[in-house]
């Protein structure tokens, strides 16, 4: 079994916010089917004997858009019992899951709620989330909750040309060195992927009409790792080294203004 630092799973690809340059492309209103807890169980079962993640996270997109989120947390707790388990949410839809805090507490999960701005329209909604989290902390003393600022360090993930995403042309090692997602391995469509930018590229390509763009060939050509991959292939996957596709990402930190995430998609 190969140890990896983190394994992440999308409960939903779309999001209720529109943060431009999202590393998971969730601002693009991705339309991928939401997995059920049974779908998740089948995915997890294929990999529990092959990889051992130090951290396992359910996220998105916005995971609370999935009506089966609470049951998915329970299922994941069975398959990834030894991992540090984390649910990442923007918080705005958590009220739709009244059984969720008890499930998280029972199975030792941490709830990370990301704050995505300080604008008045956004904060009006987010203040209600903070009130709910305060109530949850009082009702479930063992539940670990962290509210984190996700907007101050926002950075550019790709270029835009005539309204379409365009890649950088970087030194892969330099791009990998500054990447915030380099250990955020994704479990998607039965495969392990190095990072969210690669895992969900097929969706953004279809959504934005860039399928077949030769500039994106390093991304499009990456297909992830199958559950029956040889041990050597899994070890190479987990070696923490840059790959050719890293050339499509920026080789330096380019600060990007984090606009009001409640505004429509540009």
pLDDT exceeds cutoff 90 at 243? yes
With residue 9 as reference, give the H or E element that holds it. Answer: strand 2-10
Residue 38: is its pLDDT beyond 80?
yes
Label residue 187 by pLDDT band (50, 70, 90): very high
Q: What is the distance between the alpha carbons of residues 42 and 46, in angstroms, rounded to a whole number?
A: 7
**Is residue 28's pLDDT more than 90?**
no
- The mean predicted confidence, pLDDT, of the chain is 94
- Is the pLDDT score of 265 beyond 80? no
133 DSSP 8-state letter: H
* Helix (H) or strand (E) segment spanning residue 41: helix 37-47
Closest CA relative to residue 187, chosen from 114, 99, 83:
83
What is the structure's pLDDT at 26? 87
Q: What angle do CA 233, 54, 93 make, to 5 degrees?
A: 110
Count Cβ atoms below 10 Å from residue 142 Cβ, excluding itself: 9
Tell me what the mean pLDDT of segment 39-55 comes to.
Answer: 96
pLDDT at 31: 65
Token pair belonging to 210: 């860039």
Percent with pLDDT over 90 in the chain: 88
Of the candidate ranges 24-33, 71-80, 124-133, the one whose mean pLDDT is the lowest: 24-33
Digit-coded pLDDT (tens) for 88-113: 999 999 999 999 999 999 999 999 99
User: Of 126, 130, 82, 85, nearest to 103 (Cα)?
Assistant: 85
Q: Which two tokens stand for residue 90?
A: 């923007």
In order of their start, the domains of the chain are 2-248 (3.20.20)
């Amino acid at each position: 079994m190969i140890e990896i630092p983190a394994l992440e799973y999308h409960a939903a690809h779309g999001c209720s916010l529109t943060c431009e340059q999202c590393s998971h492309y969730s601002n693009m209103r991705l339309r991928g089917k939401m997995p059920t807890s049974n779908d998740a169980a089948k995915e997890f079962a294929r990999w529990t004997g092959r990889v051992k993640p130090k951290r396992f996270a359910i996220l998105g997109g916005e995971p609370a858009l999935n009506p089966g989120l609470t049951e998915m947390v329970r299922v994941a707790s069975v398959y990834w019992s030894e991992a540090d388990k984390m649910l990442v949410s923007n918080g705005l839809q958590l009220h739709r899951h009244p059984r969720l805090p008890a499930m998280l507490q029972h199975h030792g999960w941490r709830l990370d709620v990301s704050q995505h701005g300080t604008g008045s329209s956004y904060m009006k909604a987010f203040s209600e989330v903070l009130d709910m989290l305060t109530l949850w902390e009082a009702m479930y003393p063992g539940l670990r909750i962290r509210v984190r600022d996700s907007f101050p360090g926002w950075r550019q993930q790709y270029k835009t040309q005539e309204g379409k995403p365009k890649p950088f042309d970087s030194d892969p090692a330099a791009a990998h060195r500054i990447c915030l997602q380099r250990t955020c391995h994704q479990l998607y469509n039965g495969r392990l992927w190095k990072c969210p930018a690669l895992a969900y590229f097929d969706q953004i390509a279809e959504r934005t009409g860039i399928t077949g763009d030769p500039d994106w060939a390093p991304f499009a050509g990456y297909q992830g790792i199958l559950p029956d991959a040889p041990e050597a292939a899994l070890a190479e996957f987990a070696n923490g080294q840059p790959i050719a596709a890293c050339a499509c990402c920026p080789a330096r930190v380019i600060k990007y203004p984090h606009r009001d995430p409640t505004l429509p998609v540009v």
